[in-house]
Structure 1
Amino acid sequence: MNHPLNLNDAMEFSFCIKSKEFSEKASEVEKGLEKYHKEVLETPEKRDYFSSVLNNIYSTDSGFNADRKQGFVSAIFNLIKYEQSEYKVCSFSEEKVLINPLMWGHYADKMQGVCLKYDIDENSFPIYKVRYNSNDMTPMVYPCRVLDKKVRGGAIRKTLRTKKKDWSYEREWRMIAKENFIKLPKEALKEVCFGYNCNPDKAEFLYDMIIKEYGDSVRFSVIVPDVVKYQMLKMSSEKLSIRELLGSAKSRVDSYEHFIQINGIYSTHWKDKV
């Protein structure tokens, strides 16, 4: 699981606070903050973080001071930021993007990386489909919801799984939890896909490690560019070792035959070699 601040989208975890609630539901917000203040006092980590913020608007002797509305906004903002920082994120994508060149270009270090394919039961793990906003509006956060301990988690997770529509090609799902590690069952790992530029020594090391740990239930393949169809293809073979399969993929990309067009039809001699 990764800390949210380590992700690459500059717009990650943006939010807008529903300001009308500070006037239309002032009493409810005030009571919610009082409860949250007690929660803060009982939690050392929160107490250290919120001491200066809450002290500006709340005192056990005099209640909320005259500048409480401005203090409300500051307190809610810092509450959301703190609660966001408590969560960790692990990103997955739907199988459809396995041969998307953008994904291999952005996340696989010039096709030197590896993609692990899992089958995860969304009802058994805290995994959520990312929502892609098409209206350029950041997620709206309602103060009364983030102050309510029962529904706070859902309100915060909404800000952790909303992105601009520009990122929709990733078809992302996110595992969102406060734990640093979440163990998936062995049977969840279905396939390991190597980029065709993956170092053969590293690929063999990973192959041997997975076979030793998972047995022969995991499939192995290589993702390679194809100029005939102008897209990425997945190559696999039960006859070839992972080193041989990578070599076959690499030679295919480097072969001049792959780029020759004969009578309107591209040469595809490589298919006979795999």
Structure 2
Amino acid sequence: MKKLKLIKFRSLAGDDELERIIKDIIKENSFWCSKLWKLNDPMEGVFSTYNSDSIQKIFFGKNNIVICSFSGEKALKNPLMWGYYANGFKGIAIETEVEINNHDEVINSEGVINGKIVKVVYDNKSFSSANKLTIEQIMTRKLEDWTHEEEYRFLKEGNEGLYEIGEINKIYFGSPYYNVNNRKEIIDNSVPLQEYEKLKNKLKDFCETLNKKIYLEDYIMKFYM
């Protein structure tokens, strides 16, 4: 067995998002898994093949699997990830520690196999051909333009819904304008930043009430000027 730390970026832009984070993710220790077709890359699962008889088989195979996307630890240092998936740093990065066996299968808290973690392969050259690829490989490859996401995918046969994926042990909070001299003045003149600060404090207060310890940290992006 080995443990893998994965990162899930989330926006924190309103009470609805705060409620979902508390109720679904933190309380249930679960993440939403969706079909391939709902992800943000229009090239997801696209392939070419000289065997037309396999098209339907591959389609139904892909449609029978749900996905939850995560990033590796290095993505924390990438401002693009905070910008795209954490509402311009007005959001969080949730760290979950996943236990996997030698076949990359996820072992849940009851010791039962619960899906699989697969690292995404970024390769423009072999992207189009699926003649020698498994359905899993088709669903875990992307164009090189997406390399910065350092993506890992949780795959599981089933319907869309919440699934236990590891154990949440840390939450990083985005810190817009943290190290600028007039940060207070900026926040005082920005309603979205004021709202984010309120929601961030509510989430911190909630985490402090939990029986299990979740480490909380303001993540400060270092820029070189």
TM-score (ref. length: structure 1):
0.53
Kept in 2: contact 1:196–1:222 (CA 8 A): yes
Identity %: 24
Q: Which residue in the other structure is 1:117 paired with? A: 95
The Cα offsets for residues 70-108 of structure 1, whole Å up to 9 and x where unpaired, read as: xxx2x4212211221111111111101112011111111
Letter in 2 for 1:183: E
Residue matched to 2:208:
211
Cα RMSD of the aligned pairs, angstroms, is 2.2
Aligned to 2:20: none
Partner of 1:194: 173
The match for 1:15 is 47
For residues 184 and 162 of structure 1, the distance between their equivalents in structure 2, rounded to whole angstroms, comes to: 21
State the SS of the aligned residue for 2:164. coil
Shift of the alpha carbon at 1:196? 1.7
Number of aligned residue pairs: 161
Query: How far off its partner does 1:214 sit?
Result: 4.8
Answer whether contact 2:121 2:142 (CA < 8 A) is retained: yes
The AA in structure 2 aligned to 1:167 is: W
Equivalent residue in structure 2 for 1:181, among 135, 152, 162? 162
CA offsets, 1:108-138, max 9 Å, x none? 1111111101121232411111111142532
Structure 1 contact 15–159 (Cα < 8 Å) conserved: yes
Q: 1:214 to 1:8 in 2, by over 3 A?
A: farther
Structure 2 alignment gaps of length 5 or more: 1-32, 107-115, 177-192
Task: Give the aligned partner of residue 224 of structure 1.
Answer: 220
1:22-46 Cα offsets, whole Å, 9 max, x none, are 5xxxxxxxxxxxxxxxxxxxxxxxx
SS of the residue 1:201 aligns to: helix
Distance 1:166 1:174, change over 3 A: same
Which one has the bigger helix percentage?
A: 1
- Output the CA distance in 2 between the equivalents of 1:10 and 1:78: 19
Q: Give the corresponding residue for 2:146.
A: 167
Instruction: Pick one of 42, 56, 65 that aligns with 1:78.
Output: 56
- Give the Cα–Cα distance (whole angstroms) in 1 for the partners of residues 211 and 123 of structure 2: 39
2-side partners of 1:105 and 1:137: how far apart?
27
The change in CA–CA distance for 1:155 and 1:136 in structure 2 (over 3 A counts) is: closer
Distance 1:214 1:193, change over 3 A: farther
Counting only pairs closer than 5 Å after superposition, residues 38-187 of structure 1 correspond to structure 2 as: 73=52, 75-123=53-101, 124-125=105-106, 126-135=116-125, 137-142=127-132, 155-179=134-158, 180-185=161-166
